[in-house]
Amino acid sequence: MPQYPSIQDDIVALRPVMQAFARRFTKSDADAEDLAQETIMKALSHLDHFTPGTNLKSWMFTILRNHYCSQYKRSKRCRPASDLSDGSFEIPVPSDQDWPLRLKDVSDAIDRLPQQLRQPLMLVVAGRSYMDAAKECGCEIGTIKSRVARARMALMLALDEVSFSEAATR
């Protein structure tokens, strides 16, 4: 590399190296060029932070990497308004007004269950263990497990659900 009369010229001469290094971080040549240009501008505006006799290229690599990391973190926190118009910001969210109707449907379906299925189901749903539910209902633990399973299946059918996981996410 030819010798330049000043450190400013040395910084500008490192532009191709900075651009090549910036390509490791960015997806496009234009972004790499912008990142290299920003690095040069920062280096020139902060020459007072450079210690003469140290490695200029390493100092600039550090500036470039830190600038990229700052931009990346900033982009994760807030998106530019131009990104909001492409529709990618729209996240489908179910409306809250459906929950009261869904709750009524589930309550009605539970009320229609026979008592021998409804009681074990409600005990287990309330947090009781199968053992405690079996004692309260006066039957074996296996009987409680099968009654709870049949109650869940009856509810799925009454609510027109395809699977337990689908029913839980509605």
- Tally Cβ neighbours within 10 Å of residue 163: 9
What residues make up the domain containing 136? 113-168
Structure confidence at residue 85 as a pLDDT band (50, 70, 90): low
Task: For 92-108, write each residue's pLDDT tens digit.
Answer: 666 667 778 888 888 89
Task: For 135-145, write each residue's pLDDT tens digit.
Answer: 999 999 999 99
Q: What is the CATH number of the domain that holds 12?
A: 1.10.1740.10
Q: Is residue 81 part of a domain?
A: no
Q: Is residue 70 part of a domain?
A: yes
| Judgement on whether residues 13 and 71 belong to the same structural domain of the protein | yes
As a dihedral over the C-alpha atoms of residue 148, residue 153, residue 158, residue 161, rounded to 10 degrees, the angle is: 130
Mean pLDDT of all residues in 46-55: 88
- Tally Cβ neighbours within 10 Å of residue 145: 15
- Tally Cβ neighbours within 10 Å of residue 72: 10
| Judgement on whether residues 15 and 67 belong to the same structural domain of the protein | yes
pTM listed for this prediction: 0.43
- Domains identified in the chain, total number: 2
Mean pLDDT of all residues in 65-76: 82
